[in-house]
Amino acid sequence: MADRKFELTEEIIQRYYDGEVHGQERSKIEEALAADPASEKKLARYGRVSELIQLVGEASEADEFTARRNWEEISARLEKKQSKIPRRAAYWLSLAAAAVLLLFFIGPFEKAQSNELVIESIDCTYASFMLIQPETETGHTIIWLSDSDNNVNQ
Amino acid sequence: MNQIRIPLPRTCASSFILVLLGLLFLYPFPARSQDWQDQCEITIREIVADNSETGVASELEDVEKDLKKLAYSAYRLEHTYSKTVLKGETRKFDLMGDNHVELTLDGYEEGKIMLKVKISTGESGKRAFQSTIRIAEGGTFLIAGPSYMEGVLILAFTARL
């Protein structure tokens, strides 16, 4: 029979289950448990509750792990998608930028004003006329009208 | 902790494209047919060439190389005339030495301004030259030869839309 002074409280059963009691105290508890089937049931219930807590804990750890792994996968895919498109786009954008800048800054100077003159018809009562064509694209055509041909350096 | 990142590159790319489009918009493309508004502005520079001095007026820098092909030592800019000519309209310019120029805007063909130019001397138009030409927008051509004092008149025509 258990010692009258020794009473199996919830706290003691829990401490016993958690392995926090040793020596004489442990022996006393074991004796008391053996003598009190209700307390033994309580101890068994602690065992089940503990198992459940452990299971829930493992499950939540697993969930966190899965969630993290999923996130990393999604994140990696997103990064891959994002980095691939801008890289390709960046290539074309760079080309476009170069072309536009070239067009904008060099174009007007390279493509100087064309002075090409197209003569559709001429009706002249001067003694003569001659066309002095420019040597370059930027030069200007001169229509020379004359009664004599001695005023041109050619 | 992973955080959702804002896709900055796309925002930058959009801004960049907008800048490029802006630059393209500002680019001075050559005049196209849609710029043609049935009118153009004609500028005539009246130049006197003779051998009284030497040199070319600074205002004639753009045509200096061409002028030097002629056998004169001095080129002076006497007057500059500028008039807007409507399609089908004829504008008359009275020049020095009883010389006259008549300009008719015929239209705009194949990216060029089509003009009829008539130069005559004296009331009776004893000497006359008439030509139909096509010139690029902003282009310049010269007609030289009508006598003026000891030299000749040179006319530099520039047409702009």
Whether the pLDDT of residue B113 is over 90: the answer is: yes
Q: Does the beta-carbon distance from B128 to A125 stay under 8 Å?
A: yes
pLDDT, position B84 = 94
**Confidence check: pLDDT of B100 > 70:** yes
pTM of the model: 0.56
- CB burial of residue B129 (10 Å; 0-12, 13-18, 19+): buried
The answer to whether the Cβ–Cβ distance between B26 and A104 falls below 8 Å is yes
| Residue in chain B nearest A91 by alpha carbon | B13
Q: Is the pLDDT of residue A90 over 80?
A: no
Instruction: Specify whether the CB–CB gap between B66 and A139 falls below 8 A.
Output: yes
Domain-by-domain residue ranges, chain B?
Answer: 33-160
Which of A41, A46, A35 is closest to A6 using CA atoms? Answer: A35
Task: Please give the pLDDT value at position B36.
Answer: 77
Tell me the pLDDT tens digit for each residue of A18-61: 888 888 888 888 888 888 888 888 888 878 877 877 777 676 66
A114: nearest Cα among B138, B44, B34? B138
Any idea what the Cα angle at residue A57 is, between residues A51 and A58, rounded to 5°?
90
Whether the predicted pLDDT of A109 surpasses 60: no
Contact status of A148 with chain B (Cβ, < 8 Å): no
Residues A100-124: what's their mean pLDDT? 73
Determine the residue among B129, B152, B160 to mutate to test chain A binding: the one whose Cβ has the most chain A Cβ atoms within 10 Å.
B129
Q: Answer whether A153 touches B (CB < 8 Å).
A: yes
To the nearest whole angstrom, how far is the Cα of B31 from the nearest Cα of chain A?
Answer: 11
A10-17 and A23-35 are packed helices; what angle lies between their axes, rounded to 10 degrees? Answer: 120
Alpha helices in chain B (DSSP H): 8-26, 64-67
> Cβ–Cβ of A132/B127 closer than 8 Å?
no
Is 90 exceeded by the pLDDT of residue B5? no
Looking at the predicted structure, is the pLDDT value of residue A84 above 60? no
The alpha carbon of residue B155 is apart from the nearest alpha carbon of chain A, in Å, by: 9
Q: For A59-85, what is the mean pLDDT?
A: 70
User: What stretch of H or E contains A48?
Assistant: helix A37-101
CA B108 to chain centre: 14
Residue B96 CA to chain centroid, in angstroms? 21
Question: Is residue A2 very low, low, confident or very high in pLDDT (cuts 50, 70, 90)?
Answer: very low
Q: CB distance A143–B143 less than 8 Å?
A: yes
Q: Which residues contact B125 (CB under 8 A, 6 or more apart)?
A: none
Nearest Cβ partner for A114 among B7, B71, B136? B136
Residues 36-55 of A with CB under 8 A from B: none
Percentage above 90 pLDDT, chain B: 56
Q: Which of B36, B29, B28 is nearest to B109 (CA)?
A: B36
Using 50, 70 and 90 to split pLDDT, how confident is the model at A154?
A: very low
pLDDT tops 60 at residue B60: yes
Task: Please give the pLDDT value at position B102.
Answer: 94
| Residue of higher predicted confidence among A90 and B125 | A90
Q: What is the structure's pLDDT at B153?
A: 93
Mean pLDDT of chain B: 85
